[in-house]
Structures are given as C-alpha cells and as structure tokens.
Amino acid sequence: MIPTLEWTPAGVSFLDQTKLPHEETYVLATDYKQVATVIKDMIVRGAMAIGVSAAMGVAIGIDRSKAANLADLSAEVDTICATLAATRPTAVNLFWGIAQVRDLYAQLAATHTPIPEIKQAVVALALRLYDEDIANCRQLGANGADLLPKEGTVLTHCNAGALAACGYGSALGVIRAAVERGHNIDVFADETRPFNQGTRLTAWELLKDNIPTTLICDNMAGYFMGQGRIKAAIVGADRIAANGDTANKIGTYSVAILCKEHGIPFYVAAPFNTIDTATPTGAAIPIEERAAREVTHVRGVQVTPDGVGIANPAFDVTPAKYIAAIITERGVLRAPYTESIAAMAADAASGKLA
C-alpha cells in the first residue's frame, strides 16, 4: 500500500496526487504552514486524508514551536488551527482533525503539563488517528461489501479510495472488500472533471489492485444505466448533514438522480466522523469554489476562449432521498436518516459503539 501521507522525523511526507498517474513523487512538509499549502493545493485530498493531515499539521506546529511558556504556545496554537481551518471549507473531517489535537492540547495546557510532554502527546495522537483511519476504512468496507452485487458493474465518482484516506478507502474500500469476498464485479469510474480524480486516481488505484476498471466520461453514466450495465453506484462523502444530505465531489448529485430514474441503488460510504450533526441539512453545507484555471486549463494548456466566465464549485449536495444507505465503520444507516444518524450518534456518545 503506497502511503498517502506519513509522519517522518523530517516532517510529514505526502504523496503528490497532482502528479499522478505519471509520477509517484512526494512532498515533505516541515511546518504547519506547508501542511496547509499541501491541503489547499490538493497535493493531499479526500475527506479522510484531509482530516488526518490537519491533525498532523496541528501536531507538527506544536512539536516545532519555540514557545518558552504555555501562554505563548497557546497563542501559536490558535494561529495554527486558524491557518489550517482556512484551507478547504466543505470537508468536515478537516475541522474534526484540527479539533482532535486542539482539544487534547487544551486539556493538557489546563493542567499545566510541561511543554515537552505536550509535544510528545499531540504527536502520539496524530499517529494514532492515522492508524485508526486505516482500521475504520477496513471495517467500513466489511460492513458494506454485501450491499454490492455478486456480479456486475459498479459505478463510482471521484476518488474515495486509499488515496483519499490513509489507506484502503471508503467507497473503494467497500469494492475491495466485496472483491475479497469473491464478488465478480468490475468498476466504471467517472472521469470527474475538472480535477479528473477518476481519470488520474481511481483508475490508477484500482488497476494496481487488479480490479477490472473502465474509465468513462462524466456524461456517459446515463447511457450505460439505460443499457442495464450498471448494477450499483457507490461514492464517498466530504460532509453528511444530520438529515443524510451528502456533499461530495461535483457531479455526484447527477449520478444519484440517474440512479433513482433507473432503479439502481446509490450508496454513500464514509467514516462516522464525516457526519456533521451540527449541520441540519445540506443547504447549510458550505460549498468550496475553486480557481477558474482548473476549468480553463488542462495540464497547463488553456482549452477555453479568453474572457469566458467560469464557475467551479468543487462539490454538490445529494438529497438524502436519493441515498439507499450510508455505510460507516459503525454500521449501515438507512432512511429515515434523521433518526438513524441521531441514534448512532447517541450510541457513540454513550460508548455503546466502539
């Protein structure tokens, strides 16, 4: 398994996903500002990987601080967290990762823990979150595998695989788990314009796993559904509202509507920390608007006329009514999602779910 990100003595090493599939190169971030740049520029991407990257960003910021006392360090921590929080607004895992390390720091600082011990503790937490992400993805995959057909074609959009996590993946983790159980399935991967995560990442990743994969243009999904070729669709998520509305890569909403029209189950796979119970519906999810150049240029070559207007929302929101199930490492959620999500959150808070 190629590491998407890794804590090293020199800093946090990131597989540069902007260079895939042609180059497997790494970027080393030696301070929190560089981690923020890596997240903003999508060198690392995917909700799960962003969450752990943010945690590592806070941890490396604290670990490499020169502050001589807790008051100065606390002021630095506020700056570190604000810098990382400003990188990408839609993925709730970003804020989860920041909060994990920030809250531990606050607890330790409140008891006047010596700074060297605080540094050791926050780094240990970031490393534990990395390991937990991989374990959660494997459990999520196991929970969802039997929802996929025993044979046939499964459609996915964007990349919700090992590259979007610390390993194994969410939507692709379910596909991997189904294949491991003997399902005879192949994958249709949408290209996912304009950043081409399907073209560059999903196709590359699944081929490395020897899972039969066909790349299709984003506007071909309806055609193949009409032909009866696609038996299920599964995607990841960047934020799931309390009612089940789901933000995912732009184009997901269209896939969900097509699935509904053709009677095809549409699944969302995401770890429990992608569910934001503080966001009541999808209408309250902030949608990131990215640079026009991602649309106007392909590999540095301009493909649009000068002066044309560009809109580039990075995500859309799929209403819960189109989602057949939400697969998490804690179990499979079904409609009505307001009730099932609230029940799972309550069980998690009470310790009933490990």
Nearest to 172 by CA among 141, 127, 217: 141
Side-chain half-sphere exposure of 301, counting CA atoms within 13 A: 3
Known active-site residue 31: no
Q: Cα-flanking dihedrals φ and ψ of residue 215, to 5°?
A: -90, 130
Residue given tokens 């580039």 in the structure block: 312
* The one catalytic residue among 63, 133, 190, 238: 238
First vs last Cα of the chain: how many Å apart?
A: 26
| Number of other CB atoms surrounding residue 184 within 10 Å | 11
Name the amino acid, one letter, at 275: I
Helix, strand, coil percentages in the chain from 3-state DSSP, rounded to 5: 45, 20, 35
Helices (H) and strands (E) in the chain, counts: 12, 16
**Residue 69 corresponds to which tokens in the numbers above?**
């006392």
DSSP letters of 84-150? HHTS-SS-HHHHHHHHHHHHHHHHHHHTT--HHHHHHHHHHHHHHHHHHHHHHHHHHHHHHGGGS-S
Contact 316/251 with Cβ under 8 angstroms?
A: yes
Phi/psi at 331 (nearest 5 deg)?
140, 180
Per DSSP, the three-state class of 289 is strand
Write out the catalytic residue numbers. Answer: 238
